[in-house]
Amino acid sequence: EIVMTQSPAFLSVSPGERATLFCRASQSVTRKLAWYQQKPGQAPRLLIYGAFTRATGIPARFSGSGSGTEFTLTISSLQSEDSAVYYCQQYYSWLPFGGGTKVEIK
């Protein structure tokens, strides 16, 4: 079973600054990796799939990179509406999620 580990668990960033979130797989998932955003009281929303492809309607400030076991989600210039929990998920073998990173706006 592939285990997904996200870091850090919590990130506090000032508006306009860059936020970098990490996701590690316990074994290679090639590029079968997605990122989701979940705001309080809402369902998750797909941000990135295939490790780096933005989903429909996702702003360009969100970008994904990586392959194999190491992945990164970057929010280039944080906006107030980006305050949320971010989850990675691999779909190479089953569909487990990482534990999430909570992003707070300072």
Partner 1 sequence: EVQLVQSGAEVKKPGESLRIACKGSGYTFNRHWISWVRQMPGKGLEWMGRIDPSDSYANYSPSFQGHVTLSVDKSSSTAYLQWRSLKASDTAFYYCARHTSGYDSEFDAWGQGTLVTVSS
Q: Is 68 in the site for partner 1 (CB under 8 A)?
A: no
User: Distance between CA atoms of 106 and 71, rounded to whole angstroms?
Assistant: 25
Q: Which stretch binds partner 1 (CB under 8 A): 17-25, 35-43, 60-68, 69-77?
A: 35-43
- Give φ, ψ of 56 to 5 degrees: -60, 130
User: Distance between CA atoms of 52 and 39, rounded to whole angstroms?
Assistant: 21
Instruction: Give me the sign of the Cα torsion angle 74, 31, 2, 40.
Output: positive
Site for partner 1 in 2-31 (CB under 8 A): none
Q: Which CB, 16 or 63, lies closer to partner 1?
A: 63
Cβ pair 6, 98 in contact under 8 A = yes
Q: Which CB, 19 or 34, lies closer to partner 1?
A: 34
**If DSSP codes are grouped into helix, strand and coil, which group holds residue 102?**
strand
Q: Which CB, 66 or 98, lies closer to partner 1?
A: 98
- Positions touching partner 1 (CB under 8 A) are 1, 32, 34, 36, 38, 43-46, 49-50, 55, 85, 87, 89, 91-92, 94-100
